[in-house]
Structure 1
Amino acid sequence: MCQTTEEIDVAEIDFRNLSPAQRHTKAFQIVGDLRAGESFVLVNDHDPMPLYSQIQASHPDEFSWTYLKQGPSVWKVEIAKQFKVA
C-alpha cells in the first residue's frame, strides 16, 4: 500500500512552467530517483496519460498512478514507487 498525500508531505512538482520537450525527461529523472514507498505529485496543464504509458513500458508495474485532480486546467497525479513483493 502506498502512502497518500494526506498521510505524509509529498513534493509537488509543477511541470506547467517546463517546455513540452523537458516534461517527460524531467518526469523520468524523478521517477528514476524514487525509492520504494516514495512518491511525488506531478502538476500539469493537461492529462499526462501518455507519460503513464511510457512509465509502464519502461518500468512495468513498479509505480502506482493516482489522479488527485483531473482538469480542466490543472491535473495532479501522485506517482509512487511500489514495494517489490518477494
Structure 2
Amino acid sequence: MCSCNVTETVIDVRQIMPRMRHPLIFQTFDQLAPGEAFQLVNDHDPRPLFYQFNVERPGAFGWDYQEEGPELWRVRISRAA
C-alpha cells in the first residue's frame, strides 16, 4: 500500500443540479482504482447516497465522514482494495 501524497478528487455537489449528483458520484467511484478515494462535499447529510451505495455497490466501498454539518458535510468515499 502506498503512503504517497496523492491529492484526492473533491466533488462539491452543492452547485450541481440534484438529478445529476448521484450519476456523477457513481461515475467517479467507478473510475477509482482499488484503494483510491474521493471527497464528497454537500450541504446536507448524504445518508440516502450511503444507502444507494449499499444496494448498488455492496462491500465495494468505504464511507468515512470527515465533517458532519450542520452546514457542511464532507465524506471520503473509497473503493475497497
| TM-score normalised to structure 1 length | 0.84
- After the TM superposition, which segments of 4 or more aligned residues of structure 1 sit over 4 Å from their partners? none
Structure 2 SS opposite 1:16? helix
- Candidates 56, 59, 63, aligned match of 1:58: 56
Paired position in structure 2 for 1:81? 79
Q: Which amino acid aligns with 2:30?
A: G
The amino acid that maps onto 1:13 is I
What amino acid does structure 1 have at the position aligned with 2:43?
Answer: D
Give the superposition deviation at 1:80: 0.4
Q: Would you say how many aligned residue pairs link Structure 1 and Structure 2?
A: 79
Q: Looking at secondary structure, tell me which structure has more helix per residue.
A: 2
Aligned equivalents of 1:8, 1:28: Cα separation in 2: 21
3-state SS of paired residue (2:14): coil
Q: Which runs of no fewer than 5 residues in structure 2 stay unpaired?
A: none
CA distance in 2, matches of 1:35, 1:72: 32
Alpha-carbon separation, structure 2, partners of 1:53 and 1:31: 15
Tell whether 2:25 aligns with 1:27. Answer: yes
Cα offsets for 1:28-76 (capped at 9, x unmatched): 1111111101100000010001001111111111100000000111100
TM-score (norm 2): 0.89
State the 1:25 CA deviation: 1.0
Q: Deviations over 1:8-42 (max 9, x none)?
A: 42121111010111111111111111110110000
| Identical aligned residues as a percent | 41
* Number of the residue aligned with 1:49: 47
- Give distance in 2, aligned partners of 1:8 and 1:67: 19
Structure 1 gap segments, 5+ residues each: none
